[in-house]
Amino acid sequence: MNEHELLDGKLQELARQLGARAAERLDLEATAAAVLRRLRDREQQRRLRWLQPTWLRAAAAVVLIAGGVVLARSIGPTLPAHPAHYVAEDLNGLSATELRDVLNGLDQTLQNAPARSDAGLDELSPEQLKAVLRSLEG
């Protein structure tokens, strides 16, 4: 039994007519416009759904980093500023005469002070110390 025997003209014609009225009523331009509008809307919704958690994750990361920095600063070792820095700043404001007075005072202090093996400058002779201070004098 072949296809032509099975499908008589009436059934074929009926099948071709199925949905013809619905197809004729379809406004293709309006349908196309609606499809594009709905596609844009869905794309916008998809982006919003994606952006929301992304921004939340970014904000959470910023808070964590900032908190970590603050915490590290509060518990970390504070490095003392080098004392020579402050001495130099103080000496900058002195006149030549005043600097000579300071050096003379230092000479006397060094001559009167007992020698300390553990002092930081003990390896320097008084002359070397004077040379250091004179270099600070500029």
Sign for the pseudo-dihedral over CA of 114, 131, 91, 102: positive
Q: How far is CA 9 from CA 3, 12, 13, 17, 47, in A?
A: 11, 5, 6, 12, 53
Size of site (CB under 8 A) for another protein: 32
User: Helical H runs in 76-125?
Assistant: 83-92, 96-112
**Smallest separation, CB 64 to another protein (Å):** 36
66 binds another protein (CB under 8 A): no
Please, which residues have CB within 8 angstroms of residue 103's CB and are 6 or more apart in sequence?
130, 133, 134, 137
Query: Nearest distance from residue 39's CB to another protein, in Å?
Result: 6
User: CB-wise, 27 or 89, nearer to another protein?
Assistant: 27
Q: Which is nearer to another protein, 46 or 57 (CB)?
A: 46
Q: Taking the mean position of all CA atoms in its chain, how far away is CA 115?
A: 53
Q: Kindly identify the residues of this chain, within the stretch 10-39, that bind another protein according to CB under 8 A.
A: 10-12, 14-29, 31-36, 38-39
Q: Binding of another protein at residue 6 (CB under 8 A)?
A: yes
Binding site for another protein (CB under 8 A): 3, 6-8, 10-12, 14-29, 31-36, 38-39, 42
